[in-house]
């Protein structure tokens, strides 16, 4: 057994016994037996413009590829790196599931990482195999000498570029009826997903089959999914949202998953109508761009019943705009983290405006508390750390027991996020603990300032970060993306905020910018903004 895989923790909540499908493979086989001709997956493919697979076709393709992979020598317990974008979504999903079928652990890699970051990630997780898309062939060839554990290189794409084995040939030579499949249990490792690394090197989050199934149950319940739903999303497939939140939830109820190949709001709107999608999940920035592009004469969203947003803070004004433009659509706010598979909390649509800004209450199978430093629960409106518990919580970080113990204490996952609960028990996210700005001894949540600035009619997007200050310790710096053709005056913004924020929370340094740096999952990269703010301060002489 791999000594770097964290052991099961005594007392950690287990998957309830009434859930009959205990592994991802069990779930897909069950669906293939119950709904063989129901569409399971729609995704772009290197072997044609699009793959449209029923549950029975998906099962057959998984088994064929799984046998092909084991013919190459991949064995149970091996870690398999995957560097394939959403534009090869069909191949990536098939490879992930085929690896699981033979007990190989898929490790999806961030497709936007530079070579040095890829090397770090692959070596961190001791990957023995590497499947990559042909557009990365040149980079991979240059990485080989620095990947001592990798024995199998497999390339997928329309025109192969490197010296690796061909994914298509491996799939073609596999025999789906070969049998002798390993017997998997809910405690076997399903996959390892890298954290975003927005504050430093990424860590490998080790997730079991029971974690994946529990996430499916939790999210399906939070979004009210049913078997007739068509669920569309463009979350990158190397994230926990793209690989667990989306497929596990919709496949748990036997529905259809539509994977968007790229981020393009016009394509998204057209695809929603063409695929007759009923549920759409996206990061907040995606909705902002969709609102800019939406034309009721061109885009038919009449069949959409749920918009889900999460992964980053959602501006309250954006929620109001969505409700005004799409009154028939249920707006659901979800909150979670990779270490929770991801799952956590949700706000039902009928409370989207009544509890504006809330991230709701616990999803099914989840518990949530807001705790003080001493471990006691906060009073209403008192700030504390958001903590989660349930069968969705990760086994731990790969090869990093100290980091694991720092975030899982008493079988509660300490998120590092600060929040409050109101008198009705609804949770509000305020900030990452590291993003709290201490200005002259006063604690300021950057999200509080961002929400206030979002209310200004000229402001499209905003991010507030801390910068050093010689006397105050820290000060605020606001980056603002204005709506097209509207540039807010900085003095006017300060005046606007006077009735909305305490005086010490009003930023004195503001930059009007064209866009904000983001991770592939849509999170604003505040560490990049802090660097930019400091460089600007030094150049202008006020730092």
Domain boundaries, the chain: 24-33+47-209, 440-537
116-120, 231-235, 538-542, range with the lowest pLDDT = 538-542
- Which carries the bigger pLDDT value, residue 232 or residue 117? 232
Output the DSSP codes for 235-247.
--TTSHIIIIIHH
pLDDT over threshold 60, residue 197? no
**3-state class of 251 per DSSP?**
helix
Q: Is residue 200 predicted with pLDDT exceeding 60?
A: no
Query: What would the mean pLDDT of 217-232 be, rounded to a whole number?
Result: 98
Nearest Cα residue to 306 out of 290, 320, 326: 326
Say if residue 523 is preceded by a cis peptide, omega within 30 of 0: no
What predicted TM-score, i.e. pTM, was given to this entire model? 0.86
Query: Could you give the C-alpha distances from 252 to 35, 216, 309, in angstroms and in order?
Result: 12, 6, 20
- Alpha-carbon distance of 498 to 496, in angstroms, equals 6
Which CATH architecture does the domain made up of 440-537 adopt?
2-Layer Sandwich (3.30)
With 50 as the cut, is the pLDDT of residue 534 above it? yes
Task: Please state, for a pLDDT cut of 90, what percent of the chain lies above it.
Answer: 73
The total number of residues shown for the chain amounts to 543
Q: Which residue has the higher pLDDT, 322 or 198?
A: 322
Higher pLDDT, 354 or 434: 354
Other CB atoms within 10 A of residue 524 CB = 23
Per-residue pLDDT for 285 more than 90? no
Q: Please work out, in degrees rounded to the nearest 5, the angle formed at the alpha carbon of residue 270 by the alpha carbons of 267 and 275.
A: 115
Region 460-482: mean pLDDT is 87
313-323: per-residue pLDDT in tens?
Answer: 687 888 999 99
Q: Which CATH architecture has domain 24-33+47-209?
A: 3-Layer(aba) Sandwich (3.40)
Topology alike, domains 24-33+47-209 and 440-537: no
Residue 32 has pLDDT above 90, yes or no: yes
**Which single residue is written with the structure tokens 């079991």?**
208
Residue ranges in 253-394 assigned as alpha helix (H): 265-274, 284-293, 316-325
How much is the pLDDT for 143?
Answer: 96
Q: What is the DSSP string of 479-521?
A: EEEEPTT----HHHHHHHHTTTS-GGGS-SEEEE-S---B-TT
* Closest C-alpha among 98, 84, 63, 73 to residue 155: 84
**The pLDDT of residue 535 is above 70:** yes
Residue 199 confidence class, pLDDT cut points 50, 70, 90: very low
Residue 382: the pLDDT is 94
How would residue 430 be classed by pLDDT, with cut points 50, 70 and 90? confident
- pLDDT for the residue numbered 55: 98
- Quick check: 29 pLDDT over 90? yes
- Among 202-206, 483-487, 528-532, the range of highest mean pLDDT: 202-206
Answer yes or no: are the C-beta atoms of 175 and 188 closer than 8 Å: no
DSSP string, 431-487: EEGGGEEEETTEEEEHHHHHHHHHTSTTEEEEEEEEEEETTTEEEEEEEEEEPTT--
Nearest to 237 by CA among 327, 103, 391, 133: 133
pLDDT at site 543: 60
């Amino acid at each position: 057994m791999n000594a770097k895989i964290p052991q099961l923790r005594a007392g950690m909540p287990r998957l309830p016994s009434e859930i009959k499908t205990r592994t991802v493979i069990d779930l897909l086989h069950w669906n293939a037996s119950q709904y063989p001709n129901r569409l399971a997956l729609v995704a772009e493919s290197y072997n044609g413009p699009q793959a449209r697979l029923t549950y029975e076709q998906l099962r057959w393709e998984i088994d064929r590829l799984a046998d092909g992979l084991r013919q190459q020598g991949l064995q149970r317990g091996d870690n398999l790196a995957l560097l394939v974008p959403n534009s090869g979504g069909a191949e990536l999903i098939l490879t992930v599931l085929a690896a699981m079928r033979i007990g190989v652990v898929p490790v999806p890699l961030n497709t936007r990482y530079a070579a040095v970051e890829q090397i770090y990630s692959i070596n961190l997780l001791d990957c023995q195999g590497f499947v990559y898309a042909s557009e990365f062939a040149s980079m991979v060839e240059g990485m080989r000498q620095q990947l001592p554990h990798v024995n199998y290189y497999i390339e997928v794409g329309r025109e192969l570029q490197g010296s690796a084995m061909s994914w298509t040939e491996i799939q073609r030579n596999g025999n789906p009826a070969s049998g002798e499949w390993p017997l998997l249990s809910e405690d076997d490792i399903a996959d390892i997903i890298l954290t975003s690394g927005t504050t430093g090197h990424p860590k490998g989050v080790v997730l079991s089959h029971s974690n994946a199934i529990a996430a499916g149950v939790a999210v399906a319940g939070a979004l009210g999914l049913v078997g007739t739903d068509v669920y569309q999303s463009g979350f990158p497939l190397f994230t926990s949202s793209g690989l667990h939140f989306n497929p596990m939830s919709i496949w748990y109820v036997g529905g259809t998953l539509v994977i968007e190949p790229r981020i393009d709001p016009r394509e998204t709107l057209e695809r929603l109508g063409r695929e007759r999608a009923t549920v759409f999940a996206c990061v907040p920035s995606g909705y902002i761009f969709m609102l800019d592009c939406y034309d009721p004469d061109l885009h038919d969203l009449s069949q959409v019943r749920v918009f889900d947003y999460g992964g980053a803070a959602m501006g309250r004004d954006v929620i109001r705009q969505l409700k005004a433009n799409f009154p028939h659509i249920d707006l659901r706010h979800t909150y979670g983290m990779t270490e929770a598979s991801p799952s956590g909390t949700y706000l039902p649509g009928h409370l989207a405006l009544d509890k504006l800004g809330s991230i709701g209450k616990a999803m099914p199978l989840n518990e949530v508390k807001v705790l003080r430093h001493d471990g006691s629960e906060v009073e209403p409106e008192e700030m504390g750390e958001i903590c989660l518990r349930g069968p969705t919580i990760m086994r731990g970080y790969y090869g990093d027991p100290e980091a694991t113990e720092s975030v899982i204490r008493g079988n509660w996952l300490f998120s590092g996020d600060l929040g409050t609960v109101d008198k009705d028990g609804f949770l509000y996210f305020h900030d990452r603990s590291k993003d709290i700005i201490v200005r002259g001894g006063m604690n300021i949540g950057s999200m509080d300032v961002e929400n206030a600035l979002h209310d200004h009619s000229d402001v499209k997007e905003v991010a507030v970060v801390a910068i050093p200050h010689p006397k105050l310790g820290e000060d605020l710096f606001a980056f603002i993306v204005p709506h097209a053709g509207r540039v807010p005056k900085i003095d006017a913004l300060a005046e606007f905020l006077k009735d909305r924020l305490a005086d010490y929370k009003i930023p004195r340094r503001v930059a009007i910018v064209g866009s904000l740096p983001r991770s592939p999952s849509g999170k604003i990269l505040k560490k990049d903004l802090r660097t930019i703010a400091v460089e600007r301060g030094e150049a202008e002489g006020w730092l």
